[in-house]
Structure 1
Amino acid sequence: MQYWLFKSEPSVWGWDDQVAKGEAGEEWDGVRNYQARNFMRDMSVGDRGFFYHSQKEKAVVGIVEVCKEAHPDSTTDDPRWECVDIKAIEPLKTAVTLETIKADPRLAEMSLVKSSRLSVQPVRAEEWQIICALGEIA
């Protein structure tokens, strides 16, 4: 299993929107960055991800799962763009803020710290465990 982070502006698509989609999940559409698209191409059904609220909140708020592998993005006719579908699994008991992540030396090399603008990014297994612990998820 691989781990990922999906960033979204909560005013556009937030955790509650993701939860409302239920088991069917929703396309992670609209990504127009080649590196982020390539990360989605590397995903497999069952991979887990953090759902991250960007903008003012700047925090990991939940855990999602890839429920459909990369396929054409339905929001464009341009064949270069693909996306995966994700479904909500569970909220973190305690949101883990970017400030907390940056303050933890164990997370200094995390993509979120190094490449904060990327909307889809990998998370190493060690980083996953640390953030789950900070978010009070077993």
Structure 2
Amino acid sequence: AGYVDPAEVPGIPTVSEPPGVVAYAPAATAPFAPSVVVVAATPAQAMILHEAALRAGVTPTTAPVSGRPGCAVLPLAMHQGQAVLSLGCAGNRMVTELADHELYMAVPGPAWPAVVEALDAVLDANQIMNQAYRERSAAVAPPASG
């Protein structure tokens, strides 16, 4: 169908060893230690997660972004040991019903607790900044014509 150029295939990230088991569960209640935690998020939510991952030392300022195939985000997060954003792909979006306004963030499982721990501070800082930006915007807004 021409969806993937054969020349692209060697560059698609893979896991080094086939997994013995693939299991899915909510991160907070998983009865196992996850290799990767995948979050479906809006860009605004992904921004907050990225900031928490940055604060936790799990991602660089310029986070890696993966496109097709969507599943490539798993080995990227596992092997790079850092959070990765994924735009998903046609197959993934169809099967998972990921909305057009959402994307994925994958965080290495061992780093997930540090990201969660950083979330409150990041949310607080963003609330403060949002208020400061609202005040600044109001101060420089042109007067209403009437």
Q: Which has the higher helix share?
A: 2
TM-score (norm 2): 0.29
- Larger radius of gyration, structure 1 or 2? 2
TM-score (norm 1): 0.30
